[in-house]
Amino acid sequence: MGVKGEGQGSVILTQLEWLVNWGRKSSMWPLGFGLACCALEMIATAGGSRFDIARFGMEVFRPSPRQADLMIVAGTVSKKMLPAVLRLYEQMADPKWVIAMGACASTGGVFDTYAVVQGIDRYLPVDVYIPGCPPRPEALLHGILRLHDMVQKGIARGASLRG
């Protein structure tokens, strides 16, 4: 945030940045798409009252990438699916974050074969990796909260703001 004013010190600058980051983390809207079994845990996290992602201002899974801030890569990315995933990511507005959910999205998992991308971080800047096969909803929520912390602290600033 490049706001500068007469007689206003760096304190206000810092606090405005804090405010913006607070806004970003408090209404981070995920993109509603899933690729494999991890997506079911994501749906349980998002849709069920038992885990209730709405507590963190995230219940609006957006059906359009234009309205989404967070891409949760939930599941195995096959090489045939990869172009579609990349296009969805490119269509998201900045700033945007990526969570690699589960073993497959993080590393390819057990599918060490010709057909599967060996970790989505070969193509997308991943902010948080969540282990598990699949991770339980608590693990996904924990990963999301870690991302919130990072956004609030300015560590994870969204791909376009990087370097």
Identify the residue among 113, 131, 153, 154 touching another protein (CB under 8 A): 113
User: Which among 2-10, 95-103, 110-118, 151-159 is the span making contact with another protein, rule CB under 8 A?
Assistant: 110-118
Structure tokens at 135: 């991770």
Identify the residue among 5, 10, 114, 162 touching another protein (CB under 8 A): 114
Distance CA 95, CA 80 (A): 27
Structure tokens at 74: 């939930």
**Contacts with another protein in 46-85 (CB under 8 A)?**
79-80
Nearest CB to another protein, comparing residues 48 and 83: 83
3-state secondary structure 8-21: CCHHHHHHHHHHHH
Q: Pick the closest to residue 91 from 66, 122, 58 (CA basis).
A: 66
Residue 112 interacts with another protein (CB under 8 A)?
Answer: yes
Contacting residues toward another protein, per CB under 8 A: 79-80, 112-115, 117-118, 122
